[in-house]
Amino acid sequence: MSDDKSSDSGDNVWILGTHMTKFGRHGDKDLIDLASESALGAMKDAGVTIHDMEVLGCGSLFNAQAGVGQQLQKQIGQTGIPVYNVANACATGATALRTVLLTIKAGEADMGLAVGVEQMGKGGLLGAGGKGDRGRKVYEPSGRYGSVMQVEGVLGTGLMPGVFAQAGMEYAYENGGVEFEQFAKVAEKNHAHSTLNPLAHYQKQFSLDEVMAAEMMSYPNTLLMCCPNTDGSAAVVLVSEEKLRTLSKDQQKRAVKISASALTTDPWTEHAQVQPDVNTLTRNAAKKAYETAGVSPQDLDLVELHDCFATAELIHYDNLMLCPPGEAGKFIDERGPWRDGQTPVNVSGGLISKGHPIGATGIANVYEVATHLRGEAGDRQIEGAKVGLTHVIGLGSACAVHILEKAAV
Amino acid sequence: MGKQIPIVDYLAIDDGPPHLVAWEAVDSGALYFDRRNADANGGGTEFRRKKLGTTGMVRSFTIVNRGVPGVPVPYVSALVDIDGGGTVKANLLNTPPDPEHVKLGMAVKMLTFPAGTDDDGTEAIAFAFEPAS
C-alpha cells in the first residue's frame, strides 16, 4: 500500500461529505427532489454549503439533455458556478464525480459537488432498441447493418439479461466451466448482504434454491439474479488537499482520500463486434487504478463492483484480480466475496438488491465504501476497513474504478 | 417464388449458397459487419469484402425466457466463432432450448429461414445456426 506516498504530493482529492437517498420506487418525488436530497445531505455531511461549491458535476443518463444540474441549482442554490451535465452509460455517476475531481486537480476549484440521479420507475427490460412496426410494413434496408426489421430475438439477443448472461457463459467457456449454481451463489450473497442496508431497494434474504428456482429471465440469470429498475440519488462533496488542511480537525478526520480514479473505454477486440467486451476495459481500469494508488488487490478491505447481473459480478472477480485468473467460480464457492470472506464484495447488497438507478450508481458505491472507511456503516460495517475499491461499467462501453483510502491528511 | 431480401446486408442470399460477408480492414485484417468509416482496430480506411464460412462453434449462449413482445420464447441466442474467421451473434435452432442440449463449444452450421413478409409480399430472410450433427 502507498500510505503516505501520494499524499505527499499535495494534489490529492478527498471526499469531504457524502449522502445517498433510500433506493427504491419514489413515485411521490421527481428527479430534482431526489437530487436535492442527496446534494443537500452530502453538503451537510461535509459541514459546508452550496456557497462553498465551485463546480457541479451532475449525472443522469435518461435525462441527459434536460440540464439536470441547472434544474438542481434552481432548487438548492444558483451561485453561477460551472455545471457539467454528463452521460456515460452506467458509468454516468462515476464520470460526474471524476469531472469534479479533474476540475479540482486542474486547479480551477478547491471544492465541488458531484450528484448522480435517476428515476427509472418500472422501466422493463433495457436494450431492445430496433424497429417497431408502425403503419404499412415495407422492408427497406436501413442503419449501419442494413436491417429491414427488428432483429432482437431473431438474430440473438441484445437485452441486458441476455448480454450479461452471454458474458458469463463466455467466461465459463474460456475457463473450463462455471455452473448455474455458482452464478446463483452471487445473488444469494448480495440479497443476504442487503438485509443489513436500510437504504437498499430490497432487504430480503433468499436461499440458493429460491434464487435458482426464480423465474428464468435469460439463462443462467433468473429474476433474482438481475438488478431491479430503481429510483435514487447519491452525492459527494470533493475537496482539494490544500483546502482540506484549512478545515476543522473533525472534517479532516472524516475525509476519505481518493487514491486513484481511472476511466476507460473498450479497446478493439474481434469478439466485441457482436457482444460487448466488458472485461478488457475493466482490467485496464483496475490495473491503472492499482498502479496509481500503489495498492494491490490483496490490500482491499471491501469492493463495490458492478453486479447488474449475477453473471457480471462473477466475471469481475477475475477482472478486478480479486481471485487468481480463471478461478472466479472457486472464489464464490469458497465464500471469498461474502462479508466475512477474503475480500467482501457488495456488502451494500449490490445493484442486484440495493438497486441500480443508473446515474446514481457510480456515486452510491463511493458512498458505501467511504462510509465503511469512516467506520460509520452501522450494522453492515466491515471492521477496520482502510482501503476500498469501487467499479462501474456501462455498455458502449465505459468503465470507472476508484480506490479510496482512510488516511491522515 | 416472391421477392426476397436479407434481414441484414451482411447476409448474402443471391451469391451462391447463403453466407455471411464482412468488411475486412486491409491493413489490420479486422472484420466488421456494419458500414464503416474507418477501421477501429488499425485506423486504416481501406476495406474489402470477405466471404465468411458457414460452420462454426458456440463460444457462448443464453436461453432467453423473457424477451420483447412478438418474439416467441424461449429461444437460444448464441455467439458463434465462424470457422475461418469472424464471430457472429445469432439464434440457435433445431435443438431443445435448454442447457442439457445446448453446450459451450458445440459445432454448428448456418441455415436461413423466412423471418417475415412485408405488405408488398417481400420475404425477409434471416440466418441462424443449428447443431452440425
CB contact under 8 A, B126 and A155: yes
CB contact under 8 A, B79 and A215: no
3-state helix, strand, coil in chain B (%, to 5): 0, 45, 55
User: How long, in residues, is chain B?
Assistant: 133
Q: Is a pLDDT exceeding 50 seen at residue B65? A: yes
Residue A59 lies in a domain: yes
Residue A270 lies in a domain: yes
CB contact under 8 A, B62 and A157: yes
Span B27-32, average pLDDT: 97
As for how many domains chain A has, the answer is 1
Span A209-238, average pLDDT: 98
Chain A interface, best mutation among B66, B71, B80, B127, by max A CB count within 10 A: B66
Whether the CB of B10 is below 8 Å from some CB of chain A: the reply is yes
Q: Which chain B residues in 63-102 lie under 8 Å from chain A, judged by CB atoms?
A: 63-68, 71, 73-75, 77-79, 86-91, 99
Q: Is a pLDDT exceeding 80 seen at residue A371? A: yes
Other Cβ atoms closer than 10 A to A320? 24
Span B14-19, average pLDDT: 97
Rounded to an integer, what distance in angstroms lies between the CA atom of residue A359 and that of residue A18?
A: 16
Chain A closest CA to B19's CA: distance in Å? 14
Residue A33 lies in a domain: yes
Please tell me whether residue B3 adopts helix, strand or coil conformation: coil
Rounded to an integer, what distance in angstroms lies between the CA atom of residue A20 and that of residue A197?
A: 12
pLDDT digits (tens, 9 = 90+) for A45-65: 999 999 999 999 999 999 999
Q: Is a pLDDT exceeding 60 seen at residue A180? A: yes
Find the closest chain B residue to A135 by CA distance.
Answer: B119
Find the closest chain B residue to A311 by CA distance.
Answer: B62
Q: Is a pLDDT exceeding 70 seen at residue A123? A: no
CB contact under 8 A, A154 and B7: yes
B109's grid cell? 452450421
pLDDT-derived band at A67 (thresholds 50, 70, 90) equals very high
Rounded to an integer, what distance in angstroms lies between the CA atom of residue A270 and that of residue A137?
A: 34
What CA–CA distances, in Å, run from A308 to A20, A156, A263, A355, A402? 19, 20, 19, 9, 18
Chain B interface, best mutation among A144, A183, A273, by max B CB count within 10 A: A273
Q: Pick from A137, A154, A219: which is nearest to B115 by CB?
A: A154
As for how many domains chain B has, the answer is 1
Other Cβ atoms closer than 10 A to A313? 28
What pLDDT shows up at residue A326? Answer: 98
Please tell me whether residue A27 adopts helix, strand or coil conformation: coil
Other Cβ atoms closer than 10 A to A270? 16
With beta carbons less than 8 A apart as the criterion, state whether B66 and A217 touch. Answer: yes
Residue A160 lies in a domain: no
What pLDDT shows up at residue B89? Answer: 98
- DSSP run (H or E) holding A350: helix A350-354
What pLDDT shows up at residue A112? Answer: 98
Find the closest chain A residue to B29 by CA distance.
Answer: A270
Find the closest chain A residue to B98 by CA distance.
Answer: A219
State the amino acid at position A323 in one-letter form. Answer: C
CB contact under 8 A, A217 and B59: no
Alpha helices in A201-303 (DSSP H): 208-213, 241-244, 249-254, 280-293
Q: Is a pLDDT exceeding 60 seen at residue A3? A: no
pLDDT digits (tens, 9 = 90+) for A150-172: 999 999 999 999 999 999 999 99
What pLDDT shows up at residue A271? Answer: 87
Find the closest chain B residue to A267 by CA distance.
Answer: B41
Q: Is a pLDDT exceeding 60 seen at residue B52? A: yes
Per-position DSSP letters for A257-268, written without gaps between them: EEEEEEEEEPPP
Residue A365 lies in a domain: yes
Rounded to an integer, what distance in angstroms lies between the CA atom of residue B77 and that of residue B58?
A: 10
Q: Pick from B86, B88, B126: which is nearest to A154 by CB?
A: B126
Chain A closest CA to B91's CA: distance in Å? 5
Q: Higher model confidence: residue A121 or residue B49?
A: B49
CB pairs under 8 A between A and B: 158
- List CB contacts (< 8 A) between B62 and chain A: 157, 161-162, 165-166, 169, 218-221
Beta bridge partner(s), residue A387: A405
Whether the CB of B46 is below 8 Å from some CB of chain A: the reply is no
What pLDDT shows up at residue A6? Answer: 42
Q: Is a pLDDT exceeding 80 seen at residue A129? A: no
Rounded to an integer, what distance in angstroms lies between the CA atom of residue A187 and that of residue A206?
A: 9
What CA–CA distances, in Å, run from A30 to A34, A59, A121, A178, A233? 7, 15, 11, 42, 11
pLDDT-derived band at A5 (thresholds 50, 70, 90) equals very low
Spell out the residues 6+ positions from residue A284 whose beta carbon is closer than 8 angstroms to its own.
A262, A264, A267, A399
Q: Higher model confidence: residue A273 or residue A250?
A: A250
- Count the alpha carbons within 13 Å of A18 in the hemisphere toward its beta carbon: 27
Percent of chain A with pLDDT over 70: 95
pLDDT-derived band at A2 (thresholds 50, 70, 90) equals very low
Q: Is a pLDDT exceeding 60 seen at residue A350? A: yes
- What's the CATH number where A318 sits? 3.40.47.10
Whether the CB of B62 is below 8 Å from some CB of chain A: the reply is yes
Rounded to an integer, what distance in angstroms lies between the CA atom of residue A122 and that of residue B51?
A: 44
What pLDDT shows up at residue B2? Answer: 80
What pLDDT shows up at residue A4? Answer: 41
Span A259-280, average pLDDT: 95
Whether the CB of B23 is below 8 Å from some CB of chain A: the reply is no
Residue A192 lies in a domain: no
CB contact under 8 A, B60 and A151: no
- Give one word for A396, left, alpha or beta, with left for phi > 0 and alpha for psi -120 to 50: left
Q: Pick from B71, B119, B127: which is nearest to A136 by CB?
A: B119
pLDDT digits (tens, 9 = 90+) for A299-309: 999 999 999 99
Other Cβ atoms closer than 10 A to B6? 24
Candidates A64, A66, A96; CA nearest to A82 is A96
Rounded to an integer, what distance in angstroms lies between the CA atom of residue A367 and that of residue A369?
A: 6
The domain of B40 spans 4-131
Whether the CB of B56 is below 8 Å from some CB of chain A: the reply is no
Q: Is a pLDDT exceeding 70 seen at residue A131? A: no
| A180-194 helix and A310-319 helix, angle to the nearest 10 degrees | 100
Whether the CB of B122 is below 8 Å from some CB of chain A: the reply is yes
Least confident of A175-179, A223-227, A285-289, B121-125: A175-179
What CA–CA distances, in Å, run from B61 to A164, A169, A349, A363, B21? 10, 6, 27, 32, 22
Rounded to an integer, what distance in angstroms lies between the CA atom of residue A61 and that of residue A86?
A: 8
Q: Higher model confidence: residue A127 or residue A369?
A: A369
Chain B closest CA to A326's CA: distance in Å? 16
Sign of the alpha-carbon torsion through B81, B87, B93, B96: positive
Cα angle for residues B79, B85, B86 (degrees, 5° grid) = 40
CB contact under 8 A, A148 and B66: no
CB contact under 8 A, A150 and B65: no
Residue tagged 460452420 (cell numbers) = B55
Cα dihedral B98→B104→B105→B106 (10° resolution): 0
Residue tagged 463449444 (cell numbers) = B105
The domain of A33 spans 7-122+228-405
What pLDDT shows up at residue A122? Answer: 72
Residue A187 lies in a domain: no
Q: Pick from B7, B32, B62: which is nearest to A169 by CB?
A: B62
A399's grid cell? 468503465
Rounded to an integer, what distance in angstroms lies between the CA atom of residue A245 and that of residue A250?
A: 11
Largest CA distance in chain B: 45
- List CB contacts (< 8 A) between B30 and chain A: 268, 270
Find the closest chain A residue to B86 by CA distance.
Answer: A270
Least confident of A6-15, A34-43, A211-220, A259-268: A6-15
With beta carbons less than 8 A apart as the criterion, state whether A306 and A316 touch. Answer: yes
Rounded to an integer, what distance in angstroms lies between the CA atom of residue B120 and that of residue A48?
A: 67
With beta carbons less than 8 A apart as the criterion, state whether A11 and A241 touch. Answer: yes
